[in-house]
Each structure stands twice: as C-alpha cells, then as structure tokens.
Amino acid sequence: MIGGGATPTGLALNAFLDLVDARRGGRIVGLTTASGDPVASAVAWQKDFAAAGAMNVEIPIVERRDQADDPRTAALVGEARGIFLGGGDQIKLIATLGGTAVGHAIRDAHMGGATVCGTSAGAAALTKTTLANGEVDLETGQLVEMYIGPGLGLLGFHTMIDTHFAERRRLHRLFVAIAGYPELMGLGIDEDTALVIRGHLGEVVGKGGVTFVDGRDVHYDNASEVRQRPGAQLTLSALRVGIVGAGHVLNLRERELEEVVRLRSALKAEVVHGVRVGDES
C-alpha cells in the first residue's frame, strides 16, 4: 500500500516491482478506475512503469460496472503476477469493482499469491472498511461529510487506511474516524512511502513513515458531535498513537512494532523459566 505521490525512482513503487519481478517480465495489470480520467491516468502510469523498468504492464480501461464484468478483463487480472490500483476516488473504485467479475478476480488472484499494490485511493480501498472525505472542499469551502463504508476487503486485521498523510495533515481526520470506530486501527501512510505487508507484518519502505492509531482503549470521545457539527472540537481520552519509520516493521495483529513484540516475548519467556532481568539470585 502506497500513500500516493509514488515516483518511478522511489523505493515505494520499486518495492512492488521487485515483488513481482517486473524488470524480468513479471506481468502487471493495472486499473485506473478510481481516476476522474481513467484513460489519461493509464497513459501516465504506463510511462511511470516504463521509466521504472517494468517490462510487461497492461492497463485495461475499466470505468463502469459493465466493463468490470467483462470476462476477458477478469481473466487478464486473474493471470497477473502483480495487480496495481491507481489513485483518485476510493468510493468510485469500490462502487465500480465491488461484486463484479474483475473484483472477484482481484480477490482470487490475491488469495492465489499475486501481489496487489494500491496507491492513494487504491490503497484506501483495500481494507474491509474504507475512509473518505471528512475534509473541507477547497473550491466551496464547505466541509464534506466523512464517509466510512465497505472496502474491497483484501486486508484484514480491522484496519482503515488514510493516505497523503503527513503532506495533507490528516492526523485529525484519522482521530475522528477511529474515535467513531474504536475497534479499528488507522494506518496513515505518507507520500512516496509503502507499507509492504506479508502475513501480519508490514514493513515501511520509502521516504516517509506510517502512523498507526489504535482506539481500543479510548475512554471518552465526542466524535459523533464533531462529524455532525462543523467547527466542533474533538475530545478524546486514551487514544494510542505511534509512528513507524522506514525499515521498521509493524505487527498488525498486535498493533505494535515487531521489535517491541519480540522483546516482550523474550522477557515473558525469561520469566516463565525463572529468570528475570536484574535478578541476581
């Protein structure tokens, strides 16, 4: 999952290319469905993939549900070693692909071992629960109501993705979202940065970081008031927040740095065997 702003030379996009062996012909199928102009977006991504050294990239144009039900496109997706979902509007992406032949092909390919990469809206759509809006529209100056709804469901662990995170100062938005759904863990991914997930472990790759927001221990919040009344101030108690830098690994199951999880396990093992740090007996 890339937080948007991916560059052809950046480590984030290149992590995806390495995983699918793209520079030696590993086949990538991309979908620019989330874009307001899927054709122009497809052309731009073809150029970026070529600049990054990918040798076998196809981007069929899928902007309507009838196109997403085309068996030929679904077969193309199903045969891919890597599947790429571009940016734009995650609600549009989910509404177009969800429950279609292409949507099922993405899920089946992922279950069969294909690597799925989403950037910006493409990343936000990969979880079971998706976040969108909840910010002021720059053209109208009006607050756009926050959307929290079903996603494509490829990533579990009760997660919710936010993108362009540091660059667009979205920490407050994620606070509001997680306060309203405290069972979820929010993952805010910076631009040109990827969270590369294998099983329950996610490694941060790229120039930024990933912020995680855990609401399970929240004692009090007024998130519903904030969502309903523009200008209301958010109040929260006991929200847990951490930042994961490049090269570090987040344990999604434990909602903690893997280094911390391992240290706790080692200390627990010492206690079980009757040895405690600093015990001289």
Q: What's the pTM? A: 0.93
| pLDDT greater at residue 228 or residue 17 | 17
Q: What is the distance of C-alpha 259 from the center of its chain?
A: 22
Give the alpha-carbon dihedral of 221, 225, 229, 235, to 10 degrees: -20
Residue 230 predicted with pLDDT over 80: no
Two tokens, residue 202: 């996610």
Chain segment 49-69, per-residue pLDDT in tens: 999 999 999 999 999 999 999
The predicted-structure confidence for 144-155, as pLDDT tens digits, reads as follows: 889 999 999 999
What pLDDT, on the 0 to 100 scale, is given for residue 7? 97
The CATH code of the domain at 11-272 is 3.40.50.880
Q: Place 29 in a pLDDT band, splitting at 50, 70 and 90.
A: very high
Q: Where are the domains of the chain?
A: 11-272
- Segment 71-76 long-range contacts (CB within 8 Å, at least 24 positions apart): 71/101, 73/101, 73/102, 74/100, 74/101, 74/102, 74/104, 74/105, 75/105, 76/29
Helix orientation angle between 38-52 and 11-19, rounded to the nearest 10 degrees: 80
Taking 60 as the threshold, does the pLDDT of residue 280 lie above it? Answer: no
Q: Which two tokens stand for residue 259?
A: 């280094």
Helix (H) and strand (E) counts in the chain: 10, 16
How far is residue 78's CA from residue 57's CA, in Å, rounded to a whole number?
Answer: 14
Q: Which amino acid is at 192?
A: D
Catalytic site residues?
120, 164, 191
pLDDT digits (tens, 9 = 90+) for 97-132: 999 999 999 999 999 999 999 999 999 999 999 999
Asked whether 167 and 190 are in contact (CB, 8 A), the reply is: yes
Q: Which amino acid is at 181?
A: Y
| For the chain, percent of residues with pLDDT exceeding 70 | 97
